[in-house]
Chains A and B, each alone.
Chain A
Amino acid sequence: MELLDGELELREIQKLEGHTDRVWSLAWNPAATGVAGMLASCSGDKTVRIWQKGPSGSWNCSSVLEDTHTRTVRSCAWSPSGKLLATASFDGTTAVWEHVGGEFECVATLEGHENEVKSVSWNASGSLLATCARDKTVWIWEAQPGNEFECVSVLQGHTQDVKMVQWHPFLDILVSVGYDNSVKVWTEDGDDDWHCVLTLGEANSGHTSTVWALSFNSAGDRMVTCSDDLTLKIWDTSQNPSETSGDGNGSWSHLCTLSGYHDRTIFSVHWSREGLIASGAADDAIRLFTESKDSLVDQPSYKMLVKKEKAHDMDVNSVQWNMKEPRLLASASDDGTIKIWELSVVSK
């Protein structure tokens, strides 16, 4: 990665304004590239906005998805095909929107959680959707023909508010994190029964306060988690936890902890295809980390490459790398704005 040999900076390309309350979360459409680049954002203003890159290269709001959620929209996620967008809301529901002919239509509403839904995630094939809520449960929904979604499992195990669910990049392994400081890993046993096969808590060198988010690297053999305890943690996820659990060997394990970099809660973390980890925190800053080249084989270490202070005027709630253009980063903030950044080498 030749970029990493020079001094790097995050250059602000554009500030996207339109939301009238804090922006909680962002999702790049995996299918749309180039001129058709597309970003979804969701907010405390109860709406979802779709931003598209125009021919001039600037980003504009092309749709506002409103009048469906009655409370904060906390999380949004595109299906792998890029045709469906799922949105999770404090109103207790998850909506699924279909993109047809430039318009977004709400084609399904998933009800069942007792209270605020905090996060939604599609599996790699788009056949399964996971949601989690303040009611301490994680639900798995199966996509049926005709935009029907059937709940196939209600997973209990977290003792508090579940903050985020995220599927492995290509395996049907689900990870959930939450207010009980734990990371839980769920897999199916072949009989449509889902189980928690692994819990990563304080006893496994895990977090000591709320875990807000997680992200896998593109190979799926490592995972990063971020927390209110002001640390990032890197985990080895190269073993299949359902095959190795029980004997105590070969399961997911803690690799290293990045501490001393963040001053306030870390709300968001995202691993780029090129191996860069971005974090967004309550100190208004965005930081980028990468693995040290000189780190020992059995003891990887990570170093900070870039710290963008005052990236926003308030807390940074979400950071998301673009999948197609790996040096393009989007961030969302309590200040109501979204920013598009480009990672580039500082010109001397």
Chain B
Amino acid sequence: MVVGLLNANPIVYKKKERRARNVPTVIDEYAVEPIDEQEIFDYIRDIKDPEHPYSLEELKVVTEDSIEANDKQSYVRVTFTPTIEHCSMATLIGLCLRVKLMRSLPSRYKVDIRVAPGRHATEAEVNKQLNDKERVAAALENPNLLELVDSCLESTYA
């Protein structure tokens, strides 16, 4: 384990107000409500940073604008921005995003997790690893890593 923090003084941003979801007046209360960017954002905004007591939203690792969702095509893409370019936590943050969405979305969904272009020194490697489902599956069978992921996700299940 690295002694000291990788990014000792991250910039902390204000949390956005949780908006009531902007859904048209319900006519048919049994109608299926499509999953949109705002809903995806609500799933992941409170994930805790692995080394700081702040959420990914507060560190601007994720924003609503960094999410692309298409309910019809059952597709979601989350582009996240590590706080610093050499952040070795990038893979772990990406893994947390993937696990959270895996647990929250219907299984028909295809999820791509990516580092914002130009925002990480080993962007291509991080992206490749996060989108290799075999390596993700193997990682999640590692009890120590799973515990780490679960501790970052704990705050999102409140």
Residues of A near any B CB (own CB < 8 A): 22, 44, 71-72, 74, 90, 115-116, 118, 134, 161, 163, 179, 209-210, 228, 264, 282-283, 313-315, 334-335
B134 at the interface (CB under 8 A from A): yes
B9 at the interface (CB under 8 A from A): no
Contact code string B90-117 (vs A, CB < 8 Å = 1, else 0)? 0000000000000000011010000000
> B134 touching A118 by the CB < 8 A rule?
yes
Q: Which residues of A contact B141 (CB under 8 A)?
A: 71-72, 90
Instruction: Output the nearest chain B residue to A134 by Cβ-Cβ distance.
Output: B138
Closest 6 CB pairs of A and B: A116-B138, A71-B141, A90-B138, A314-B107, A90-B141, A72-B137
Shortest CB–CB separation between residue B108 and chain A, in angstroms?
6
Shortest CB–CB separation between residue B112 and chain A, in angstroms?
9
Q: Which of A71, A134, A313, A315 contacts B133 (CB 8 A)?
A: A315
| Cα–Cα, bound, A139→B36 (Å) | 48
> A72 touching B110 by the CB < 8 A rule?
no
Shortest CB–CB separation between residue B114 and chain A, in angstroms?
14
Shortest CB–CB separation between residue B138 and chain A, in angstroms?
5
> A314 touching B108 by the CB < 8 A rule?
yes
| Cα–Cα, bound, A219→B85 (Å) | 51
Q: A74-B134, A264-B110, A334-B133 are in contact. List 7 more A-B contacts (CB 8 A).
A: A44-B137, A71-B141, A90-B138, A134-B138, A228-B132, A283-B110, A315-B133
| Cα–Cα, bound, A83→B133 (Å) | 32
B86 at the interface (CB under 8 A from A): no
Residues of B39-69 at the interface with A, using a CB-CB cut-off of 8 Å, are none
Residues of B131-158 at the interface with A, using a CB-CB cut-off of 8 Å, are 131-135, 137-138, 141
> B135 touching A161 by the CB < 8 A rule?
yes
Shortest CB–CB separation between residue B131 and chain A, in angstroms?
8
Instruction: Output the nearest chain B residue to A263 by Cβ-Cβ distance.
Output: B110
Q: Which residues of A contact B131 (CB under 8 A)?
A: 228
State whether A210 and B132 are in contact (beta carbons under 8 Å apart), knowing that A264-B110, A313-B108 are contacts in the complex. yes
Q: Which residues of A contact B133 (CB under 8 A)?
A: 282, 315, 334
State whether A210 and B138 are in contact (beta carbons under 8 Å apart), knowing that A282-B110, A314-B107, A335-B107 are contacts in the complex. no
B15 at the interface (CB under 8 A from A): no
Q: Which residues of B contact A282 (CB under 8 A)?
A: 110, 133
| Cα–Cα, bound, A311→B129 (Å) | 27
| Cα–Cα, bound, A335→B107 (Å) | 8
| Cα–Cα, bound, A209→B141 (Å) | 25
> A179 touching B132 by the CB < 8 A rule?
yes
Most chain A C-beta atoms within 10 Å of own C-beta, residue among B132, B134, B141:
B134
| Cα–Cα, bound, A118→B137 (Å) | 12
Shortest CB–CB separation between residue A264 and chain B, in angstroms?
7
Q: Which residues of A contact B107 (CB under 8 A)?
A: 313-314, 334-335
